[in-house]
Amino acid sequence: MIVDAHCHVIVPEITARSVPGDWRPVLGTGDGRPSVRFRGRSLTSVLGEFSDTGIMLDAAASTGVSHLLLSPWISLVPVDAAPGEARLVCQVQNDALARLVAGQPGRLSAVGALPVQDPGLAARELPSLLAAGLRGVEIPSSVGGRYLGDDFFLPFWEAAEATGALVFIHPTTRGLGIPALDDYYLWNSVGNPLETAITAAQLAMAGVLERFPRLRVLLAHGGGALPVVRGRLRRAYRLRPEAAARITGGPDASLRRFYYDTVTHDADLLAGLVRYAGPGQVLLGSDRPFDMGTDDPVGEVRGLGLGPEAGLILGGNAARLLGLAGD
Contact assessment for residue 94 and residue 129, using Cβ atoms and an 8 Å cutoff? yes
Element (H, E) at 57: helix 53-61
pLDDT of residue 159: 98
Residue 118 identity (one-letter amino acid) = D
Nearest of 327, 171, 200 to residue 259 by alpha carbon: 200
pLDDT of residue 325: 67
Mean pLDDT value of segment 9-30: 92
pLDDT of residue 35: 86
Q: Round to whole Å and give the CA distance between 168 and 111.
A: 8
pLDDT digits (tens, 9 = 90+) for 146-200: 999 999 999 999 999 999 999 999 998 776 889 999 999 999 999 999 999 999 9
Domain ranges of the chain: 3-322
By CB neighbour count within 10 A (0-12 exposed, 13-18 middle, 19+ buried), where does 95 fall?
A: middle
By CB neighbour count within 10 A (0-12 exposed, 13-18 middle, 19+ buried), where does 286 fall?
A: buried
pTM, 2 dp: 0.96
Q: Round to whole Å and give the CA distance between 68 and 110.
A: 8
The b/e string for 31-61 (b: 16+ C-beta within 10 A; e otherwise) is: eeebebebeeeebeebebbbbebeebbebbe
Residue ranges of E strands in 41-135 = 41-42, 67-72, 108-110
Residues in the chain: 327
Domain 3-322: give its CATH architecture.
Alpha-Beta Barrel (3.20)
By CB neighbour count within 10 A (0-12 exposed, 13-18 middle, 19+ buried), where does 28 fall?
A: exposed
pLDDT of residue 317: 98
pLDDT of residue 2: 97
Q: Round to whole Å and give the CA distance between 182 and 202.
A: 25
Q: Round to whole Å and give the CA distance between 220 and 285.
A: 8
pLDDT of residue 175: 60
- Contacts for 320-324: CB closer than 8 Å, 24+ residues apart: 321/135, 321/166, 321/216, 321/218, 321/259, 321/283, 322/3, 322/69, 322/109, 322/135, 322/166, 323/135, 324/1, 324/3, 324/67, 324/109
Contact assessment for residue 92 and residue 13, using Cβ atoms and an 8 Å cutoff? yes
Greatest pairwise CA separation for the chain in angstroms: 57
The b/e string for 254-271 (b: 16+ C-beta within 10 A; e otherwise) is: bbebbbbbbbbeeeeebe
Contact assessment for residue 213 and residue 164, using Cβ atoms and an 8 Å cutoff? no
Q: How far is CA 215 from CA 110, 114, 139, 258, in A?
A: 18, 17, 14, 9
pLDDT digits (tens, 9 = 90+) for 233-256: 999 999 999 999 999 989 999 999
CB atoms within 10 A of CB 205: 22
pLDDT of residue 176: 83
Strand partners, 26: 37
Measured in degrees and rounded to the nearest 5, phi and psi for residue 82 equal: -65, 150
pLDDT of residue 327: 42
Contact assessment for residue 295 and residue 287, using Cβ atoms and an 8 Å cutoff? no
pLDDT digits (tens, 9 = 90+) for 27-81: 988 777 788 999 888 888 999 999 999 999 999 999 999 999 999 999 999 999 9
pLDDT digits (tens, 9 = 90+) for 269-309: 999 999 999 999 999 999 999 999 999 999 999 999 999 99
